Structure 1
């Protein structure tokens, strides 16, 4: 699938498996945008990828998933370039952070891991469809199995006492899978392949949320445990498979859930709940309209 004209966006591409994904896409001649909140952290990553790959088509795209206005601006900035978009890897995320709300008043793990990516994807969707065959890759986690029995209890999302930080993370990761299911339905009849995945347990900076929540005394424990974690290079393999493997198109793999390394498995019941997926879509769309106005999606779904 990779060619000189391929264009890709990787959210959180400045570190961890996002960095590896961006680097390998660039190595294979893709024009890669690293969508990241911090310019100070992203620009060194851009330069490092250029140095390691000897490729110059790597750019920083300002994206703060904690701000819906920032997400909107990021999409508009990319769209103003009038480029195709063949691969969107929704990789960025936070995990088990202390309870906090985004600038839009949304519980932060749900806001960053799901709502921000939901908006970003839908604003880019007309271009993704026009660029087909194309891919949307939503990075979830096996942690989705820790969501409450009801899956996502929308009325409790902003209640700081309703869940533990890990349960909030689990709900957001379940949302990634359910978003994939509903989006895949809406992409029926197109050559856009949308899948979700668990990358594995990886030694990355995502554990900083756990430390922020529970304290630095966890650092030695995490260091020992990380000896058994996957490296970022191995952890990126499954999302790279979903983003680039010819098998995705050859086998018509759509709306699937992958685990390392590129294996399709059946999610548990919550991760296959089409009714909950539709409810999540409607909730997410209405929440964003409430924050940004009813016309936010006027050019989406085209």
Structure 2
């Protein structure tokens, strides 16, 4: 259970940050995927409101990053905020960005892996990985791996579990497990246990002309976010680091701008209430800051409370298998213990 069972659907991220101000003040924090009118903006503004030592904002578009940095510097003068451009579809870009991070900070208290992408048509990362899996999971996996020494250094000076890795997932993960036999969505034969949910709205099962299942590709990547978190929970705790995954809720943003009309309408029907960026960031702030969560209390949150994720996202065997695949695709080992 979280510290505040009364928090929920309409809780403000700013109010969460204020409640746990001592967990932000003087800390080094990274938020990825920061852009106007999205969860990243709400997350960044909430952290900035409580005087972190260094707030680093990482995203793909320089102009969007600078727009949020300008808001922060106007609203919260004196906050040390830095923007770093990174393209999670390029492992070269990720490695370059991490070097810039290391030039700025030597410890990292909180990493919020907020960045994500949805694509209607098939695209590939620089390394030839299907883009939704490549950005939403593999890019995040590599970034976290390269930043892990900074997290360990922070954890040495903090209470166990106060140093956190937060991974944004989605209830969309329920539509599909990891397709280990076809993670690039190339229409290969897969076993029954890797097939998508048997029942889903027709719009979600629709394929493009080349057979690309966009919604299933997204769902697979969101399952990966949770399995990544599960592995971190079990293996990073020895270093004093805790990790949680979460669903931010239905948030008004540009994330789904490529969706076909029927897909957009189907998604819209899944949420009775659409959050603004501040409300959409509240669960990220709870996952990152709540002191009750220093000790592992669960795996996945939604609306500021723990929520049961799909069974396929709780499999330790799948988490281990995904970890090994991820190391292969990034071409290196992720030393977590």
TM range (shorter): 0.7 to 0.9
Cα distance between partner residues in 2 of 1:134 and 1:23 = 20
Distance 1:106 1:185 in 2: 27
Q: For 1:20-35, list aligned pairs within 5 A.
A: 20-30=42-52, 31-35=54-58
Higher relative contact order (CA 8 A, sep 6+): 2
Shift of 1:3: 4.6
C-alpha distance 112-3 of structure 1, shift in aligned 2 (>3 A): closer
In the other structure, the counterpart of 1:301 is 336
1:239 matched residue in structure 2: 284
Q: 1:220 to 1:97 in 2, by over 3 A?
A: closer
Superposed CA offset, 1:259-295 (max 9, x none) = 11x2112222101111011000000001111xxxxxx
The normalised TM-score by structure 1 is 0.87
- Give how far 1:199 is off: 0.8
Q: For 1:204 and 1:160, how far apart are their aligned partners in 2?
A: 29
CA distance in 2, matches of 1:80, 1:283: 30
Contact map agreement 1:177 1:271 (CA 8 A) in 2: yes
Which structure has more helix as a fraction of its residues?
1
Corresponding residue for 1:293?
Answer: none
Residue 83 (structure 1) shift: 2.8
Normalised by the length of structure 2, the TM-score is: 0.78
**Cross-structure match for 1:17:** 39
What are the Cα deviations for residues 55-84 of structure 1, in whole angstroms up to 9, with x where unaligned? 431110121101011111111211233431
CA drift of 1:219 comes to 7.8
CA distance in 1 between partners of 2:309 and 2:263 (Å): 31
Using the TM superposition, give the Cα deviation of residue 154 of structure 1 relative to its aligned residue in structure 2, in angstroms.
Answer: 2.3
Q: 1:220, 1:119 → 2: CA distance?
A: 34
Give the counterpart of 1:184 among 211, 220, 233.
233
Q: How far 1:158 sits from its partner (Å)?
A: 2.1
1:3-41 CA distance string (max 9 Å, x none): 542011000122311111111111111121110111122
User: Could you say which residue in structure 1 is the equivalent of 2:138?
Assistant: 115
**Which ranges of structure 1 fall in alignment gaps of 5 or more residues?**
290-295
User: How many angstroms apart in 2 are the aligned matches of 1:56 and 1:188?
Assistant: 30
Q: Which residue of 2 aligns with 1:138?
A: 167
- Aligned partner of 1:253 in structure 2 is 296
In the TM superposition, residue 229 of structure 1 has moved relative to its aligned partner by 1.2
Partners of 2:287 and 2:293 within 8 A in 1: yes
- Cross-structure match for 2:61: 38
Alignment match, 1:60: 83
| CA distance in 1: counterparts of 2:265 and 2:164, whole angstroms | 39
Report the RMSD for the aligned CA atoms in angstroms: 2.4
State whether residues 35 and 61 of structure 1, in contact with CA within 8 Å, keep that contact through their aligned partners in structure 2.
yes
Q: Give unpaired runs (5+ residues) of structure 2.
A: 1-21, 156-161, 188-210
SS at match of 1:8: strand
Query: How many equivalent residue pairs?
Result: 285
Q: Which residue in the other structure is 1:86 paired with?
A: 109
2:183 aligned partner: 157
Shift of 1:91: 0.3
Q: What's the CA shift string for 1:101-154, capped at 9, x where partnerless?
A: 11110000001100000000011111101101311100000000011xxx2112
